[in-house]
Structure 1
Amino acid sequence: MDPVLRELVERGGGLVTRTLAGQVVPEWTLRRACARGDLVRVLPEVYAAANLLLPATPEVPLVSRLDPVVGHRAALAWARGRAVLSHLSALDAWGLHRQTVGAPLHLAAPVAAGIRTRPGVVVHRLRGLTREPGEVRRRGGLSVLRLERTLVDSWPLLPAADRRAPVIRAVNDRMTTPERLVTALADAPRIAHRADLRTLLRRLAEGCRSPLEIWGHERVFTAPGMPRFRRQARVRVGRRTMYLDLFAERERVDVELDGAASHGDPRQREVDLRRDALLATVGILVVRFSHRRLVHESDAVRRETLAILATRRDAPRRDPIADG
């Protein structure tokens, strides 16, 4: 490849546009690089270094054979400021769900932008879309649709088993709130599987912070006889602040739901034991249920919890601790 063109491609992270190349080298230099197999036209006016193309079946568009990180830049270069990353591409840019090689890239554009879907790139034409900071953000140097709209728009495009994780993580990492997502959902009245997303947002607003907690809430800990647990209750003991999964304040019982990932980890077990001992110094009994028991022995977990709570109601009570 021509040295000047090679340097331009390297500076572009493996990409170059026809317009940019034309500013430094003759047109035939770009054509020759393509003929020799050094560059590949992945989108109109956009070229990528051939060694960036990943193996795929012949029917996969060339732009979809790029690593999505590169593919996103290629799609935006093709759009020339008329569109931003959206849906699953924006979800990838937000770091909440990795887009796979071979999948189509997603852009959102105003209705009047004059840009349309083509092989490898799905263009969603959105009425009222503007490039104002409230609607479009910058992530890793890329223009991306705001997080709340991204999560709502991506919901029906993900496999059912994968839909909850990005929403839960975004809330847990304080990237957004259930309330802001509820507002975004209200602006998308026709989204598929809307009821399931609304239910998840309600559970997150109630304090559930994992799929296991949601399972427990829906199938175990809202059964008849159960108290109104405080979820993610903030408790301070000495200089340490802790958050309790399910706290029965009257009985002073903390029900902890241990995820499958923590099962069998001796280091995590030691951390849990120290935490439980500290809570015991202020009269809080910690009861732990494993992922396996909660899912496969729900009836037994429910009975045990009710029995423990009944016993604790008659136990002498201590002065309440400072919590929030």
Structure 2
Amino acid sequence: MERPHPGVVVLPERAGEWRVRALAAVLATDGVLSHTSALTVWGVAPALPQVHVSIRAGRRAPVLQAVTTHRVQRLDRAAWEPYPVTSVRRAVVDTWGSAHGRPTEPRLVELARAAVIETLRDGRARAQDLRSEADVRPALPGRRTLIRLIAAVEDGSQSELELWGVQHVLRGPGMPEFVQQHPVRLRSGTVRLDAAVLRLKVAVQLDGAAFHGSAEARERDTRRDVALAACGWVVLRFSYRRLTTDPAGCRREILAVCAAREALLRAR
């Protein structure tokens, strides 16, 4: 048997497993999994080498190998066998605070942003819940940035690419008003447009390579664009590379198409 922490023993062949190390940390501290470790349990983030647990502020934080112990005033505890773990909303905000308190760790900042976007997108957290959690922590590092990100996801941005596209392309000088995630009913089902100028029936799709790089994905997009065209929509697609390297050119193309649609409407 191995003894990773005082009072805890594990089977040697399982000592390297993340789930075993996480449970050992909880047993050794009598705490709850929190921060990135809680996100791992909730299926939001990958397992990282360091295990995070939270304990009440009045207790002494033990020094344990590969374990970070946080002393907190409000100990949030949810049940997820075999661990006690903080709630999703608390884990997201805790991770955000840790990430933005360490500006030299951009990977952790990316993880924290992804956790906000993913949990809001799939409904595991509500925007108001994350704001409420941030409201009771006015000194939270990066708090203003978190509130802005929550608002942007509420407005319809569902990925980092969409967030970037909205900020740097769709909201450029002279751009029309866009509605994000606008639903359109087709024969094959309802689709959502990343951004749409409703009066002109101009749709802008922001294509991330991870979702649109395969031949199957491109064929699916083509079929959907044809179906939208049959309903009177003009669909403009911009790749990740194009959006991030030529935002001004993307804006010019959008404005040109919108101007042409305006002319068609006036000519009728």
Which one of 92, 106, 122 corresponds to residue 151 of structure 1?
A: 92
* Cα separation, 1, equivalents of 2:227 and 2:98: 45
CA contact (8 A) 1:179 1:205 kept: no
* Cα separation, 1, equivalents of 2:193 and 2:122: 17
Structure number with greater Rg is 1
Answering whether residue 155 of structure 2 is matched by residue 206 of structure 1, we say yes
Identity %: 34
User: In the alignment, what sits opposite 2:261?
Assistant: 312
User: In the alignment, what sits opposite 1:301?
Assistant: 250
Measured on the aligned residues, the alpha-carbon RMSD in Å equals 1.9
User: In the alignment, what sits opposite 1:247?
Assistant: 196
Answering whether residue 37 of structure 2 is matched by residue 89 of structure 1, we say yes
Structure 2 segments unaligned to the other structure (5+ residues) = 100-107
Superposed, 1:163-202 pairs within 5 Å as 163-202=112-151
The change in CA–CA distance for 1:315 and 1:136 in structure 2 (over 3 A counts) is farther
Counterpart residue identity of residue 106, structure 1 = H
User: In the alignment, what sits opposite 2:82?
Assistant: 141
The change in CA–CA distance for 1:77 and 1:255 in structure 2 (over 3 A counts) is same
Superposed, 1:1-324 pairs within 5 Å as 39-53=1-15, 66-79=16-29, 82-101=30-49, 103=50, 105-112=51-58, 114=59, 116-120=61-65, 121-129=67-75, 135-158=76-99, 159-238=108-187, 240-316=189-265
* Cα separation, 2, equivalents of 1:294 and 1:163: 23
Q: Which structure shows the higher helix fraction?
A: 2
User: In the alignment, what sits opposite 1:22?
Assistant: none
User: In the alignment, what sits opposite 2:104?
Assistant: none
Q: TM-score, normalised by structure 1?
A: 0.74
Q: What is the CA-CA distance between 1:263 and the residue it aligns to?
A: 4.5
User: In the alignment, what sits opposite 1:26?
Assistant: none
The change in CA–CA distance for 1:257 and 1:140 in structure 2 (over 3 A counts) is farther
Work out the number of aligned pairs and report it: 257
Q: TM-score, normalised by structure 2?
A: 0.89
Find the residue that maps to 2:264 and give its secondary structure. coil
Find the residue that maps to 1:246 and give its secondary structure. strand
CA contact (8 A) 1:88 1:157 kept: no
Q: What is the CA-CA distance between 1:153 and the residue it aligns to?
A: 0.6
* Cα separation, 2, equivalents of 1:242 and 1:285: 15
CA contact (8 A) 1:76 1:84 kept: yes
Q: What is the CA-CA distance between 1:200 and the residue it aligns to?
A: 1.2
Deviations 1:181-208 (A, max 9, x none): 1121112211212222222112111111
The change in CA–CA distance for 1:264 and 1:149 in structure 2 (over 3 A counts) is closer
The change in CA–CA distance for 1:146 and 1:262 in structure 2 (over 3 A counts) is closer
* Cα separation, 1, equivalents of 2:31 and 2:109: 28
CA contact (8 A) 1:115 1:123 kept: no
CA contact (8 A) 2:52 2:70 kept: yes
The change in CA–CA distance for 1:297 and 1:123 in structure 2 (over 3 A counts) is same
Find the residue that maps to 1:244 and give its secondary structure. strand
Structure 1 segments unaligned to the other structure (5+ residues) = 1-38, 54-65, 130-134, 318-324
